[in-house]
Each structure stands twice: as structure tokens, then as C-alpha cells.
Structure 1
Amino acid sequence: MTFVQVIDCKTDRVDELNRLMDSWIEQTKGRRTATHSMVGTDRSDSTHVIEIVEFPSYEEAMKNANLPETDRIFQEMVALCDTMPTFTDLEVLRDEQLNEAACRRFFTEALPGGDAGVFGELLTADYRDHDPANPRDVVGVEAFLREVAAWRAGFDFTFTVEDQIADGERVCTRWTWNGLHKGEFLGVTPTGRRMAMTGTTVHRCREGLICESWWQYDRLGLMGRLGVLEM
């Protein structure tokens, strides 16, 4: 279970504290077990500093605490603070990456069979779609729905999300697409073939909604399986 430690301290030497954290990261390279660290200052009191450190588990956190560099850095941290830092240990009960969840729903629910209402819950009104197969970007939800309709007319399909990585407002998803060629697609009459392709999509999110997408996928391979190209 994910474990989070919250370190609360008071200091007017924030720059020195930052340099101390940089030193700890450098000195524990390859041995530390922390997976995510965030430091913030209170907007109403710039001397109030909180650090949030995430670990895969409590046991991994204890391994980190037992590193000799961790104890030494902690003593130096105490010297920079006005009072003794306090520690709050949290077992994480709920951890939702909301942008990732929206992007996953985009693939598993919206694209295969979602109606306009579902897309409206996931996309901004000015949504922009970058697909290398299109000569121009597709802009707006209605225009994107026409693109989706063309794929649905040609295939019964599903997406399987293989991996997702989120960084701020961007989410990268590696996916597998499986489809049954049931109708005309790009001038190709139905073949009845089942086919698959892989791809990666980077989404940019804004206020919890997807506002932009960049696609990379094996369209050439798909056209070959449709019989349009000799492979």
C-alpha cells in the first residue's frame, strides 16, 4: 500500500532547505526508495514549509529512513528550522489520478460507443485533434465526432489501455486497438477480417477535460491488413 510522509517545518531559510534536498537526492542516487517528492510554502506564511514524500509502502519508507545520508540530512534540516519539524505518516486509502481517469474513459468508453453526451463530459468545446493521417487538425467536439463516426462505420472496435504515464497536464497512453471490419472504410469494402494495431496518444488536459490530442499509430499496417497496400 502506498505510504506518504508529510514533513512540516518553519524556516526563513527556504533556499538553503532546497539546496539541502538537492544534496540528499544526489547522495542517495540508486539507493533511495522514495518515488515522489513535493515541497511547498504556505501562501499566507512563506516560512511555513511542507514536504510530501511518497513511497511504495511503509517498509520501503523505513529502508529510506535507514540510509546514513537521510539521518545526516535530517540533522542539517533541523538546524535550518525554527522549531523541530513534525512528521505525519499516512497510509493512502484513495489515490485518484483524475486526468489519467478521464483519458482512460476516452479510450474504453467514449471512442468505442459513447454518445455526444459522453464526449461532452470529457472534451473541451475547443478540443483540437492532431492525427498525422489528416492534412489539417480537427477542431471542436462536433468535428471530432464526425471522425469517430467514420471509424465506427467501418469497424466494431475496442481499445485496451496498456500503459499510462501522467506528467502535469499531459497524459501519455499506450494502447492496443482491435476491430472487426464490418463496413466501408476509406473506400475499402468490408472484408469481415479481425485486425489489431498499436499506438500511443498524448493528451493535454485543462480543468479536468481533454483539450488536445496527438496520435501516433500503425496506420500503414492497418491499410496492409485491409488489402490496400502490399506488405
Structure 2
Amino acid sequence: EEANVQLRIISHSHAFQDEVKAEKDKENERRAGIEEEYMQTKLKSLERQRIEAIEQRRKEEENRRLEAIREEELAKERDIKAQQLDLYHAELAAEKAVIFERQAEIDHQEEIRKRDQAALNLKRVEYRREKQSERERARIERDEEEAREYQLQQNRLDALRNKVAKKFDHVRPDRERVLQNTNSVQSRMDSKVHKPLFFNPGYTVDELMQDQRFKIQLALREAGLHTSEYA
């Protein structure tokens, strides 16, 4: 009987141990499940972090790539602008050089023109001075000629005065003779009495030669003084 009791005790002990073991196994399984779940969650979290890290690196690499592209484009744009600026400066320098050269040519031509104009003005001044000298010489010659002509005229007048004075020295002042008709007038008056068939408005040679004024006119003509103020 004690053996049976002992067996039952042993049996209960084994059963208890089995229950304890079963509980431990369940606890272990639960813990294992929890750990598995934790591990799965951890793995998922790590995977998500890995994916996020990969995505972050990809974004960073993409950003770096885009930044590199942008920097390259900016560098190209800066190079283009620098080239354009250099080209602009070169064109500006060339244009300034052309303008400077053109202005230098204009100044040179202007200097030549001024020299030519100065030479021309000098020639004109010399020409006018020469013409003035010629006019002055001509005026002097003309004055001398007029003086000689006047002196010659005076000499002729003096000669004519002497000639007339000698020729009419016997003539004395006669008021009545001055107021009476001249021979030509008297002849016209007489001709009215013996008027010819055709009227003759002139004078005959004999009538003219009887007029002292006509004789004086002939003398002045012979002396070349009939157009003078004295005549």
C-alpha cells in the first residue's frame, strides 16, 4: 500500500512536473511568440529603416546629381556669359579702335584741309594784295595819265587862247552888236522874202563860215578839245 502511495506520489509528481513543464513550454512558446513578434516587428522596422535609408540615400544622391547638373549648367551659363562678356569687350574694344582710327583719320584730313585752306587763304591774300597793288599802280598810272592829259589839254587851251586872242585881237566889246541878229539869223529872215520852192532847214557853207562861233568850234575840234568843259 505504501508502494501504491509512493507510486501515486511519484505519479502526481510526474504529472505536476509535466504540468509545470507544459506551463513552462507554453510560457516559452508565448515568450518565443512574443520574441518572434518582436523580432518580426524589429525586422520590419529595420527593413523600413533600411528602405527609408536607401530612399534617403537615393534622394540625397538624386539631389546631389541634380545639384551637380545644376552646378554644371550654372558653370556652363557662367562660361557662356563670360565668353559673351569677353566677346562684348572684344567687340567694344574693336569698335573703339575703329572709332579712334576713324577719328584719327578725320583729324588728319581736317589738319590737311586746314593746311590746304591756310595755303589757299595765303594765296588769296597774296592774290588780293597783288591785285590791290595792280589797281594802285593802275590808279597811279591813270592819275599820271590824267595829269599829263590835263596838262596837255591846258597847253592846247593856252595855245588856242593865244591863237584866238591873236586872231580876234581887233575885236572890241560892242553891246549893240551882241544884241543884234547874227548873220545866219538875218539870212533866215531875208530868206523868208525870197523863199525857194523847197524849204532848206540848214545853212550853207558860206553862211556857216561867216559865224564866228562855228569857226571857234572848228578850232576846238582841230585841237581835240571840243568835248572838254572849257569848250
Which structure has more strand as a fraction of its residues?
A: 1
> Considering the TM-score relative to the shorter chain, is it more than 0.5?
no
Aligning the two structures, in what range does the TM-score lie when normalised by the shorter sequence? under 0.3
Normalising to structure 1: TM-score of the pair? 0.17
Normalising to structure 2: TM-score of the pair? 0.17
Which structure has more helix as a fraction of its residues?
A: 2
Q: Which has the higher contact order (CA 8 A, sep 6+)?
A: 1
Work out which of the two has the higher radius of gyration on C-alpha atoms and give 1 or 2.
2
